[in-house]
Amino acid sequence: MAPEIVKSTTGNAAAPVVGPSKHAYVTFLAGAGDYVKGVVGLAKGLRKVGTAFPLVVAILADVPVEHRRILVEQGCVLREIEAAFPCADADQNHAYVRNYFLFNYSSPLEGIFSFVEYERMIYMDADVQVFDNIDDLFELPSGYFYGVVDCVCEMSGDACPQKLRWPQELGPQPPFYLNGGMFVFEPDLTTYHDLIHTLTITPPTPFAEQDFLNMFFREKMKPISPEYNLLVAMLWRHPEAVGVEKAKVVHYCEAGSKPWRFTGEEENMEREDMKMLVSKWWDIYNDASLDFNVAQRLTKGLPLSREAARQVVVHYRSASSAA
């Protein structure tokens, strides 16, 4: 049976934040690679749609100082976390779908669920872009783990050949399978400690933390509309079921689709709808008017998180002292 989609009862509008924010967006960054461009693009995208809430970036210790400076100057709130891995007895060279998936366990398990200064957060991968305000998701009923089904065929109840197979070693199959690139959750220390403990006794599987989260939250998962996380592969897998013009959030998760690496040479990347979505991402990334500026935003009365403003002030004070 097809899952019932949970819909927000509020509109997109959000009031400017006054005082510390009880909600936030959060993403994850590791290493010195080019994913920092994705985070900058996400920060600017959230700014363009007028979100009332800050973007927190959970970073590992190997993120270089220069990349941290770039993110702070874009108004991001940085939180350093430690890496988390599956049980010690497991083969760490397990055949993940992509090699870097091993490090993806860190963001939800060793970090973001412990950010209890926020009542609710929306996690998004760094290869996600927001094209419409989604602050309404913060008003969904509490007590659940929300996300978008990984393949829209689950909306009709008829699985297609591309639908991911459930790893039998993780126990009973959940009623549907959510994509781990975007989800709505409530930070909680009890949940955080349970996640960490469960990870130590759980074998690794091909889709790493995505499989793990579906296992852990199988009793609390609720699906939301695909417009909140349009996986670009749906454009050619199920074109009849998706409307790119309605997408509020686009997930550039297929090989070759990362806008900052895009060449158009990989399979399906020659499509006009893919080129259009990549162009839209670059329009936001290159828009200097979307760069973070504390004074300018306060003057215009635009939403500004105090956490982000404080980090920018602290950063420049530290730089001045060093000089």
pLDDT at 236: 93
Q: Which domain holds residue 120?
A: 23-158+173-226+288-322
Cα separation, 302 vs 97, whole angstroms: 42
> Residue 316 and residue 304: Cα distance in Å, rounded?
18
DSSP class of 6 = B
251 falls within a domain? no
User: If pLDDT is split at 50, 70 and 90, which confidence band does 82 have?
Assistant: confident
Tokens of 161: 């050949």
- How far apart are alpha carbons 299 and 134 in whole angstroms? 25
Q: Is 42 helix (H, G, I), strand (E, B) or coil?
A: helix
pLDDT on residue 252: 98
Asked, for residue 18, whether it belongs to a domain, the answer is no
pLDDT tens, position by position, 24-41: 999 999 999 999 999 999
Q: How far apart are CA 170 and CA 67, in angstroms?
A: 37
Residue 313, domain member (yes or no): yes
- H helix or E strand, kind and range, residue 235: helix 234-237
Residue 85 placed within a domain: yes
In a domain? residue 110:
yes
The answer to whether residues 72 and 36 touch, using CB atoms and an 8 Å cutoff, is no
Torsions phi, psi for 21 (to 5 deg): -80, 140
Radius of gyration of the chain (CA): 19
**Residue 277 within a domain:** no
Q: Does any domain span residue 293?
A: yes
Q: How confident is the model at residue 148 (pLDDT cuts 50, 70, 90)?
A: very high
Assess contact for 86 and 103: CB atoms under 8 A: no
pLDDT, averaged across the chain? 83
Rounded Cα distance between 316 and 116, Å, is 27
How many folded domains does the chain comprise?
Answer: 1
Mean pLDDT of 293-310: 55
In a domain, residue 265? The reply is no
pLDDT value at position 310?
Answer: 54
How many CA atoms are closer than 13 Å to the CA of 15, on its beta-carbon side? 6
| Domain CATH number, residue 94 | 3.90.550.10
